[in-house]
Chains A and B, each alone.
Chain A
Amino acid sequence: MNEGRLTFQKCASCGTIRYPVGPLCPNCHKFETEWVTSSGRGTVFSFTVVRHQTHPAFPVPYTILVVEMDEGPRVVARLEAPDGTPARIGMAVRVDFEDAGGQMLPVFRTLSA
């Protein structure tokens, strides 16, 4: 992530991509693992607009997406849409990275942004 890349674990034996990370493949139970870089493209699977603030670090409102990446895993991150495009299920997005105090975190942008 700090290199600005979204990567997934991939079983070196059966090719199953797994997410979140784990020590072995839940499909074939082999431990040998490769890493693959995501295309960064995906579509919105679900979302929520957070209106009730529960922590000073996260001022509201903000939109959290569950995005189904083209490789299959569903990744959680914020929608960053400066033009105010509201989230909807099925909307195409791409991943980007923002510096959160020395740690790069993924965000999603609409394709036009």
Chain B
Amino acid sequence: MTFRNKTAIAGIGETEFSKNSGRSTLHMACEAILAALADAGLQPNDIDGIIKMSANDDIQEIDLLRSLGLSNLRVFHDVPHGGGAACGTVTGAARAIAAGAADVIVCFRSLNERSERRFGYSKVGGGVGGYMAYNIPMGFVTPAQWVAMFGQRYLHDFGWTTEEFGHLAILIRKHASTNPHAMMYNREIDMEDYLNARWITEPLRLFDCTLDTDGACAVVVVSAEKAKQLKSQPAYIAGAAQGTGSRTQMMTSYQRPSISTLEEATATANEVYRIAELDPSRIDQANLYDHFTPMVLMTLESYGFAPRGKAPDLVRSGRLGLDGDLPLNPHGGHLGDGYLHGFSHILEGVRQIRGTANNQVKRSVKTTLATSGTGVPTSAIILSSEAY
């Protein structure tokens, strides 16, 4: 027995994505949460659970409770490991509701990543502890640098060039270019733009990297029965899972046998498909965590859409376009819409199921996959239009 289709996302909400929100992360979180509640036809007092991402988060749950006037929470926890946590919050909500521990759980992410704390910049000083003491003093300080090691090894192990990263960046930016919500709306790039852009940290160029973003996203999770009574079309949670790999460090798990594959993503894929009782061929549309292009190639392989080392062939095939049979990140993902640490991918899945996305894909969408951060313990969900 699993919790397959026992719960649903009943409401979604988000702010605009920008370089300078002009308001606090707490302010934006409350905006997104109120929008998600309104979408579901619920009130703040209906909330009896909050599950949030913990890493790099400056919102204290206690401040959120006071701000929204909540006094009756029954379930509250943080999910660790940065962007790997996004679908993990929804997974936790689905498990808690299926277990009867709460009725209405809100999950959210709110960031002033561009205007306040830029994760792409190094914060050196004050001392570092643990295994990061092996990295930071060497000038090995940013996520892009840590991911570059994975990307370099992927190119080496399978004989590709950086143009394959480029094809992926161009595809996702193309999707963003027709989404008015996206930070990169109307800003398509081609291979010349890609190759001429400056190096960030070889083999990664500018357009291989995500966008520091201000914004917030929220979802409301309820039981499948309750979702049917609410205002908006439910997106049933068919599968939800978390997973880990061997010899784990945050984005620097170089001690494991191979770094041209993502152990955590493979483990999470197996588990989310097991719970949903689906295989990759049944996924109609995918929203994959795209902070850096090499990791998306490896994610496509971990989730069974391409054999190991062959994801570039899939990217070039045209199947991942808006009119393809596996449209990828129609909203423009983290490379073009904005970097909400996996959360915007969850919202896009709900919109594609409902048929309300700015870039609604051509094929009918009954099932959609969202994945969370890579290079860290991670998570994924499969949403379904029907509670099969």
* Given A73-B255, A89-B152, A89-B156, A49 contacting B124 (CB threshold 8 A): no
Q: Does B319 contact A (CB under 8 A)?
A: no
Q: Does A81 contact B (CB under 8 A)?
A: no
A20 to B252, CA, bound (A): 11
A77 to B139, CA, bound (A): 9
* Given A62-B139, A74-B254, A52 contacting B131 (CB threshold 8 A): no
1/0 per residue, CB under 8 A from B, across A23-47: the answer is 0001000000000000000000111
A78 to B136, CA, bound (A): 11
**Does A47 contact B152, Cβ atoms closer than 8 Å?**
yes
**Does A55 contact B137, Cβ atoms closer than 8 Å?**
no
* Given A76-B254, A89-B156, A52 contacting B198 (CB threshold 8 A): yes
A105 to B124, CA, bound (A): 16
Q: Does A54 contact B (CB under 8 A)?
A: yes
Q: Which residues of chain A are near B144, meaning CB under 8 Å?
A: 52
Which of B122, B137, B249, B255 contacts A100 (CB under 8 A)?
Answer: B137
A105 to B141, CA, bound (A): 15
Q: Which residues of chain A are near B135, meaning CB under 8 Å?
A: 76
Q: Which residues of chain A are near B19, meaning CB under 8 Å?
A: none
Shortest Cβ gap from A93 to chain B (Å): 14
The A/B interface has a contact count, at CB < 8 Å, of: 84
**Does A54 contact B122, Cβ atoms closer than 8 Å?**
yes
Which of A52, A62, A64, A66 contacts B200 (CB under 8 A)?
Answer: A52
A58 to B124, CA, bound (A): 10
A47 to B149, CA, bound (A): 6
**Does B200 contact A46, Cβ atoms closer than 8 Å?**
no
Q: Does B388 contact A (CB under 8 A)?
A: no
Which of A49, A54, A55, A78 contacts B202 (CB under 8 A)?
Answer: A49
What is the interface size of chain A, counting residues whose CB is below 8 A from a CB of the partner? 28
1/0 per residue, CB under 8 A from A, across B246-283: the answer is 01010010110001000000000000000000000000
**Does B149 contact A54, Cβ atoms closer than 8 Å?**
no
Q: Which residues of chain B are near A111, meaning CB under 8 Å?
A: none
**Does A20 contact B122, Cβ atoms closer than 8 Å?**
no
Shortest Cβ gap from A78 to chain B (Å): 6
Q: Which residues of chain B are near A55, meaning CB under 8 Å?
A: 121-122, 124, 139, 141
Q: Which residues of chain A are near B141, meaning CB under 8 Å?
A: 54-55, 58
Shortest Cβ gap from B210 to chain A (Å): 14
A73 to B252, CA, bound (A): 13
Q: Which residues of chain B are near A78, meaning CB under 8 Å?
A: 138-139
**Does B149 contact A48, Cβ atoms closer than 8 Å?**
yes
Q: Does A103 contact B (CB under 8 A)?
A: yes
Nearest to B120 among chain A residues (CB) is A54
A89 to B259, CA, bound (A): 13
Q: Which residues of chain A are near B254, meaning CB under 8 Å?
A: 45-46, 66, 74, 76
Q: Does B366 contact A (CB under 8 A)?
A: no
Shortest Cβ gap from A28 to chain B (Å): 16
Which of B130, B139, B247 contacts A64 (CB under 8 A)?
Answer: B139
**Does B131 contact A51, Cβ atoms closer than 8 Å?**
no
Q: Which residues of chain A are near B200, meaning CB under 8 Å?
A: 51-52
- Give 6 nearest A-B pairs by CB, closest first: A58-B139, A48-B148, A51-B199, A49-B202, A20-B131, A55-B122
Q: Can you list 25 A-B pairs, Cβ within 8 angstroms, ordered by A?
A: A20-B134, A20-B249, A45-B153, A46-B153, A46-B259, A47-B149, A48-B148, A48-B149, A49-B199, A49-B202, A51-B198, A52-B199, A52-B200, A54-B120, A54-B142, A55-B139, A64-B140, A64-B145, A66-B149, A76-B134, A76-B135, A76-B252, A78-B138, A100-B137, A103-B137
Known pairs A51-B198, A55-B141, A57-B124 / 20 extra A-B pairs, C-beta < 8 Å: A20-B130, A20-B134, A20-B249, A45-B153, A46-B149, A46-B152, A46-B153, A48-B201, A48-B202, A50-B139, A52-B198, A52-B199, A54-B141, A55-B121, A58-B122, A64-B139, A74-B254, A74-B255, A76-B252, A89-B153
